Amino acid sequence: MKIFIKKTAMLIGAVSLVFPNATLYAQTSSTPERQQDNFCANLINRISKLNERIESRLKQVGERRNNRKTTITERIGQRKDRVSEHRQNVDEKLREHVLKLQERATGDAQKQAVTAFQTSVRAAIAARRSAVDAAINSFQAGVDVLLAARKTAIDNAFVNVKTAKLKAVTDAKAACASTSNARNVREMLSEALKTAQQEFITAIKNAQDAFKTGFESLKLVRKTASDKAHADFKTAIEKARNDLKAAMGERNSTTTEVTP
């Protein structure tokens, strides 16, 4: 989230560079006529470069998005690898533990109890893994939806600010042809640019706030599902231990300890 806030600030700063303040269009001069001519000529030059600058900034935004997407994909892959390795270790430890229990078992009843214990533990492990995986997959799917919505909102914000500011400059250019009052034209342009910029900033903030709210909601849902999965697992394992202890004739023992 902190990364995105920094990116948002960069986006806003970038647009400020692309769409300079209206005062930059003003030119000081010794006469109103010269001032008017310089101001209008500057507008004509600026409007020809505006689209090029905007497209350049949008390209940079797209590249940063692709880089972040690649990083996220790599991290998800690394996490899956770690989880897979951990689960393999758990399965191996359980197998070794059951072998030790089988060696200690005497008589058919105890051997059957060990088999039942093994079956119960495996079922508990499978249930927890399934529930945790479902919670994570649901979370990731939800985040993908939020990211797509945020991307659309930010793209729209860029389109809207581009349209509004190009219109402001175009209107100022037209006004130059119909009036000799450069001051009024500059004020009109300045106000239009400020309005467009503020609307852009608000749109970016709204997109960020919507993502943050949705993200926190998804985290809570994932945590609730994960907590329940672990609680159910703990209950199932405890029952399996107690059943085995009773069958083995042991009240307190570490032989039934297993932490998958």
pTM for the full model? 0.76
- For residue 30, the model assigns a pLDDT of 45
pLDDT tens-digit map of 206-259 = 999 999 999 999 999 999 999 999 999 999 999 999 999 999 886 544 444 554
pLDDT surpassing 50 at residue 46: yes
Domain count, the chain: 1
Q: For residue 160, is it within any domain?
A: yes
Of 4 and 82, the structure prediction assigns the larger pLDDT to: 82
Q: For residue 258, is it within any domain?
A: no
pLDDT tens-digit map of 86-142 = 999 999 999 999 999 999 988 899 999 999 999 999 999 999 999 999 999 999 999
Q: For residue 228, is it within any domain?
A: yes
pLDDT tens-digit map of 130-141 = 999 999 999 999
- For residue 250, the model assigns a pLDDT of 67
Q: Residue 19 sits in which domain range? A: 2-248
Q: For residue 255, is it within any domain?
A: no
Q: For residue 221, is it within any domain?
A: yes
Give the separation between CA 113 and CA 209, rounded to whole angstroms.
55
Q: For residue 256, is it within any domain?
A: no
- For residue 257, the model assigns a pLDDT of 52
Q: For residue 180, is it within any domain?
A: yes
pLDDT tens-digit map of 20-34 = 444 444 444 445 555
Q: For residue 253, is it within any domain?
A: no
